Amino acid sequence: MAGPPPHVVPMLATAGPLPDPASQADFTFELKWDGIRAVVHWDGAAVRLETRNLRDVTVAYPELAAIGSALGRQAAVLDGEIVAFDDRGVPSFQHLQERMHVADPRTAAERAARVPACWLAFDVLHVGEHSTLALPWTERRAVLESLALAGPFWATPPTFPGSGDDTLAAARSQGLEGVVAKRMASPYIPGARSRDWVKVKLVARDEFVVGGWLPGEGSRAGRIGALLLGLPRSDAALDFVGAVGTGFTDAELARLGRELAGDVTPSSPFAGPVPRRDAVFVVPRLVVDVEYRQRTDAGILRHPSYKGTRIDKSPADLAAGDTKRS
């Protein structure tokens, strides 16, 4: 027996297809939520929320502090996802953008009243003095369900053992991002990207690194017109994958302009030429979420649309395999 760990890097899924029908009985299937990963740490007195890169985001989500009262006196560490829902009740990463990048408690409270967030629990890593990491998923799920987490801003979504095709069809009909298949015999391995968890996406959507921008024209004159995107190579340079110029609100364009202003550099971070002489280059540190129809044979995104920045990911995560190259 031991106390809960101070930090946990979440277990990660591998991108891939749905397990074949003969194997689906070994898996359970969960809806893939369009939010940010967040591990809840409860010490019996206060809740702390950490992203997958161990960033403390507790202050940004004051409505989630009461999760602790639902957990009672025993310490606990749980894995889940912070989401914000749109008017249709569908998780929206764009809505969640309003809640990110907030460090001031008063601002966080104002935004929580306008765009409430919800934390969705899907795994338990520690309860009381007992670690549950080595337990198979089936036993961890039983522990999670025994906690009966259901409140105004948190919930335990259902899981569907053996029902991969039906769960994927339900995700498609609800306009969700996809499903995650989890082998029911698998333990929880912090920080590992495991083939026991498979994320099955319904849309072409990935993360890319911002390597610069193109100046705006017309109504965007004096602002960012499009972000230049790339994927990290082993030599730390970026492979250019195109530019995204749609999907931005005016407020988001302004915020990106402020955030990237201090990163401007005379050197291109891209391994090859960028097809615009007026490109402004930046130090490649910002990761963004982009939806697109397909990739060309040269790897360029077709019809990309910006969805938001990822405060929970870095270029190193993409280099480690978070994003497919084709």
211: domain CATH number is 2.40.50.140
Q: Both 250 and 276 in a single domain?
A: yes
313 is an active site residue: no
Q: Which of 45-49, 51-55, 170-174, 321-325 has the lowest mean pLDDT?
A: 321-325
| pLDDT number for residue 326 | 45
Do the domain assignments include residue 2? Answer: no
For residues 98 and 197, membership in a common domain is answered with yes
57 and 109 housed in the same domain = yes
In terms of domains, do 188 and 315 share one? Answer: no
Q: Considering the domain boundaries, does residue 4 fall inside one? A: no
Q: What percent of the chain has pLDDT over 70?
A: 97
* Torsion from C-alpha of 215, 221, 223, 229, nearest 10 degrees: -30
Return the higher-pLDDT residue of 274 and 83. Answer: 83
Longest dimension (CA), the chain: 64
Residues 23, 134, single domain; the answer is: yes
Phi-psi region of 188 (alpha: psi -120 to 50; beta: other; left: phi over 0): beta
pLDDT above 90 (res 287): yes
5 located within any domain? no
Instruction: Give the domain CATH number at 144.
Output: 3.30.470.30
Instruction: Give the residue from 176, 201, 226 where a domain finishes.
Output: 201
Looking at the structure of the chain, the number of domains it has is: 2
98-147 residue pLDDT tens: 899 899 999 999 999 999 999 999 999 999 999 999 999 999 999 999 99
pLDDT class of 254 with cuts at 50, 70, 90:
very high
179 and 262 both lie in a single domain: no
Please check whether residues 143 and 241 belong to one and the same domain.
Answer: no
Q: Are residues 39 and 132 in the same domain?
A: yes
Is 68's pLDDT higher than 80? yes
CA distance 243 to 226: 6
- What pLDDT does 321 receive? 61
pLDDT of residue 272: 87
Backbone dihedral region of 145: left (phi > 0), alpha (psi from -120 to 50 degrees) or beta?
alpha
Considering the chain, what is the average pLDDT of its residues? 92
Look at strands 193-201 and 12-15 and give their pairing.
Answer: parallel
* pLDDT the model gives residue 89: 87
Q: pTM for the full model? A: 0.75
Q: Which of 201, 234, 268 is the last residue of a domain?
A: 201
Average pLDDT of 255-278? 92
Looking at this protein, which amino acid is placed at residue 145? Answer: E
Of 201, 233, 263, the residue that ends a domain is: 201
Q: Decide if 49 contacts 61 (C-beta within 8 A).
A: yes
Cα–Cα dist 15/321, whole Å:
9
Domain of 302 in residue numbering reads as: 205-322
248 and 279 inside one domain: yes
Instruction: Count other C-beta atoms under 10 Å from residue 258's C-beta.
Output: 9
Q: Is residue 7 part of a domain?
A: no
- Same domain, residue pair 188 and 285: no
How would residue 319 be classed by pLDDT, with cut points 50, 70 and 90?
confident
Q: Is 136 left (phi over 0), alpha (psi -120 to 50) or beta?
A: beta
- 37 with 116, same domain: the answer is yes
Provide, for the chain, the percentages of residues in helix, strand and coil under a 3-state DSSP scheme, each rounded to the nearest 5: 20, 35, 45
Catalytically annotated residue among 32, 182, 307, 313: 32
3-state per-residue secondary structure call for 24-77: HHHEEEEECCCCEEEEEEECCCCEEEECCCCCECHHHCHHHCCHHHHHCCCCEE
* Residue 6 falls inside a structural domain: no
Residue 141 has what pLDDT? Answer: 98
For residues 68 and 148, state if they share a domain.
yes
Are 315 and 236 in contact by the 8 Å Cβ rule? The answer is: no
